[in-house]
Structures are given as structure tokens and as C-alpha cells.
Amino acid sequence: MEYKGKVVLAYSGGLDTSVAIQWLKDQGYDVVTMTADVGQQVDLEACKDKALRTGAVNAYVMDLREEFVQQYAWKALKANAQYQGTYPLNSALSRPLIARQLVQVAEMEGAVAVAHGCTGKGQDQVRIEVCTNALNPELKVEAPVRDWHFSREDEIEYAQEHGIPVPTTKESPYSIDENMWGRAIECGVLENPWNEVPAGAFKLTADPLDAPDEPLSVEIGFEAGIPVSLNGTALSGVAMVEMLNDLAGKAGVGRVDMIEDRLVGFKSREVYECPAAVTLLTAHRALETLTLSKEVLKVKRELETKYAELTYEGYWFSPLKEALDAFMDSTQKTVSGVVRVRFYKGQVTVTGMKSPQSIYREDLATYSEGDTFDHQSAVGFIKVWGLPIKTWRQVHGETVDAEGCAEVPTLKKASGLDG
């Protein structure tokens, strides 16, 4: 067997990536594992120990939570990024960070390749490989799960043959991916869109019907588009997300059940629970209406759709995405203030907001005493504003029917001919 050098494997400790260590060794690689802590519920030290016992020559466990929030989640928040207007991109946001760490470890270890445990049917394979190629085009990317074509039964048999520990706990009927920004749930009964999501699928959120009967209000402080305080107390990014996941999750906030158009060409039923993400997106979007001009808001909303698509499609390190980041940062200079939100039975509602950069003026908006708006100026404004439509009607002589549709005049009337 030809020795190929070192490969860095994105390692979760599950069956797929544990078996992948041996498979990569069989291909002639020395395997180094990299486990990224982005807020998932896993025993990281046990994961590292298992990787070494399974045959890895070195194993890295990296706490990336703060970097994930600051450099990925907050950037997406500035852009109000939600794929198809619904999915907060929790899984998609972690993939470029994982790819970056794979590349960094590969460069430290002198590796010639990186590897992941994605299947050939998912979109994470695209995200990790595209991001890896963007960061270091010279690295080869291996995909054992995609390439070996094993069934789960084959994997278990292979594991037993090579003395690889196989989980003995009852396997979840779902495929789960989680990080600080949310939890993705798919497979099993969820593959039929008619089936209601079983209660046992959720872990971060209470059933809205069982949530507390008393509403809970919190105040979120923002500076330049980034949340920095909760109820007046300054918090780090990680602490902010953790606390909102807890508070909003207990109220049943953050559940998403959607039909998603996958990058690889088919529709998929996807279920997410993202309490903190949904809360912050709701609050941030509201604060922008108070602090951004009409034209900036209009263009930004259009570009937010593109930003979410680029993130979803693995183009996080693309020139266009970087240009959009510059635009988003520019718009956020004035997005500072406090937003009060209320959690109740699965809903998060904005109940108040204030900002020192607010361009809302009560003296202009009020209908009460203290109104400073010049009402007489409206006369000339209406005349100028409506002039194009008035001129068109005068020239073409069209009338409007009872349903509000224009009636084109007859040839005789329009031309002035009398026969």
C-alpha cells in the first residue's frame, strides 16, 4: 500500500467518522482528527480519546464557540440572513468555520488532504469542499462516507472487524446537527410532509401549548447591529446566545418546519429549532426600521436574500459574499439601540424599541398637539407627484372602469375620425 501522507478528518465521534479513520488508513493515510466545538452537546474529551484509540495519530479539539458567534452568526445577523426567508442557516454557518479549521490544522500538520463524513446526497459536502478549495486549492478532499457506498449495517460490520467501538445506546430515529445558532432535525417520519413533528424530536424548545401562561419580556441592546446586552447587562456573544436559547426556548420560540429547496436539486422537509436566532433576527430587523432610511432598507432587503443564498450554497469565502459583508457593515453603523421583545406560547413579538440614532420623529408623526409637519406643503407635493399620471390620462384619454382597470378608447374616439 502506497503511503499518501497525512489527512485531517472533521471528526464528530459518531459511527461514520469513527469508521472513516480506519478507511482512510486503509487508503494509505495517517489520520489526524479535528473536532470543532461550536456549541453542540458532546463530550469533547471523550471524543478526542476515542479518535486516538480508533487509530488517529493526533487529535485536535477546538473551542470555536466565540469565533462562530462573532465571525459567522453576527455577520449573518447583520444581513438578517434566512434561506428562503425562513431557515436561520444554523448548520450552513458552521461549515465554513469547520473548513477553515481543517485547512489550518492541515497546514500545521503538513497534511496533503482533508476529509469529512458527509454523504453524496447532502449539501454539507458542497459547503465544506467549496470552502476548503477557496482557502487552500492545493489540498485534496476525501469523502469516505460518500465514496465507500456502505450501508449502516456494512459500517457496523466493518467497525466490529477492526475493533472500532460501536455506540450501544438506542439510536435516534433522526439525523441531528446542532450548534449555538440552532438545531437541525431530519429523516425518519419527518420525510413525509403530512406527518406532524413528534414531540420527542425537539430538545431546545418547549411545546408552545405547554409553555408558561405568563409572558416574558426582555430588552436586547444592540451596538452597530450586534447584540451586546440583555436587560441592561453586558454579555459576550456566547453568553448572549446561550441565555436567549434558554429563555426563548422555554417559551416555545424558534421552531421552524419547512419544505426547503436543497442545493443538490430536490426538495426536502427540514425541521429546525433556533430560539436565540429567531429572537435576535426579529429584534434586529425591527431596530433597522427605526434607524435606516427607506432606500437603504429597500436595497438591503433585496441583498439579504442573496446573502442567505451564498451562505447556504457554500460561497461564504466568495468575492461577492465579502463585498456584501462590506455593504452590511456600512448599513449597521447606525443600528444601535434597545429592543424589547415578549416571549409567549411560541411567539416572539417586538413590544418597544428606542435608539439614539432613530430617524423616527414623533413631532412629525403625531396627529396630536405638537404636530410640526407642514400640512400645506402636501398640496404642492401631491400635484407634482401625480403629474405623470395626470398627463398620461390627458394625452391618451383613457378612462377607468368599475374594477379599476384602464379602458382603451375606441379608434374613432382616439383619432378624432368621424367616418
CA distances from 229 to 37, 233, 348 (A): 24, 5, 18
**Rounded Cα–Cα distance for residues 28 and 247 (Å):** 49
Return the ∠ at Cα 115 (arms to 110 and 117), rounded to 5°. Answer: 155
**Rounded Cα–Cα distance for residues 144 and 359 (Å):** 55
The confidence score (pLDDT) of residue 157 equals 85
Instruction: Please give the single-letter amino acid code of residue 164.
Output: I
273 burial (CB, 10 Å; 0-12 / 13-18 / 19+) is buried
Q: Is 330 marked as a binding-site residue?
A: no
Q: Is 282 marked as a binding-site residue?
A: no
pLDDT digits (tens), the chain, 419 positions = 899 999 999 998 888 888 999 999 999 999 999 999 999 988 888 999 999 999 999 999 999 999 999 999 999 999 999 999 999 999 999 999 999 999 999 999 999 999 998 887 778 999 999 999 999 999 999 999 888 777 777 878 888 888 887 664 556 678 889 999 999 998 889 999 999 999 999 999 999 999 999 999 999 999 999 999 999 999 999 999 999 999 999 999 999 999 999 988 899 999 999 999 999 999 999 999 999 999 999 999 999 999 999 999 999 999 999 999 999 999 999 999 999 999 999 999 999 999 999 999 888 788 888 888 888 898 999 999 999 999 999 999 866 666 666 665 554 444 444 43
Q: Is 217 marked as a binding-site residue?
A: no
Which among 160, 165, 248, 169 is positioned nearest to 204, based on CA atoms? Answer: 248
The confidence score (pLDDT) of residue 412 equals 44
Q: Is 219 marked as a binding-site residue?
A: no
The CATH 3.90.1260.10 domain(s) of the chain lie at: 175-292+335-357
Q: Is 314 marked as a binding-site residue?
A: no
102: left (phi over 0), alpha (psi -120 to 50) or beta: alpha
CA distances from 206 to 86, 203, 368 (A): 20, 8, 44
User: pTM of the predicted model, to two decimals?
Assistant: 0.90
**What is the CB neighbour count within 10 angstroms for residue 264?**
12
The confidence score (pLDDT) of residue 122 equals 79
The confidence score (pLDDT) of residue 149 equals 75
Architecture of domain 5-64+89-161: 3-Layer(aba) Sandwich (3.40)
**What is the CB neighbour count within 10 angstroms for residue 234?**
10
The confidence score (pLDDT) of residue 415 equals 44
Q: Is 349 marked as a binding-site residue?
A: no
**Rounded Cα–Cα distance for residues 307 and 84 (Å):** 11
The confidence score (pLDDT) of residue 408 equals 57
- Which of helix, strand or coil describes residue 419? coil
The CATH 3.40.50.620 domain(s) of the chain lie at: 5-64+89-161
Which among 76, 351, 77 is positioned nearest to 219, based on CA atoms? Answer: 351
Q: Are 67 and 61 in contact, with CB atoms under 8 Å apart?
A: no
Answer yes or no: CATH 3.40.50.1820 is held by domain 175-292+335-357. no
User: Any idea which residues carry the catalytic annotation?
Assistant: 16, 95, 124, 175
430515529: which residue's cell? 173
pLDDT digits (tens, 9 = 90+) for 150-202: 777 787 888 888 888 766 455 667 888 999 999 999 888 999 999 999 999 99
The confidence score (pLDDT) of residue 1 equals 80
Q: Is 18 marked as a binding-site residue?
A: yes
pLDDT digits (tens, 9 = 90+) for 55-88: 999 999 999 999 999 999 999 999 999 999 999 9
DSSP class of 89: -
Query: Where does 263-380 show beta strands of DSSP type E?
Result: 267-273, 337-344, 347-354
Q: Are 85 and 260 in contact, with CB atoms under 8 Å apart?
A: no
Q: Are 115 and 143 in contact, with CB atoms under 8 Å apart?
A: yes
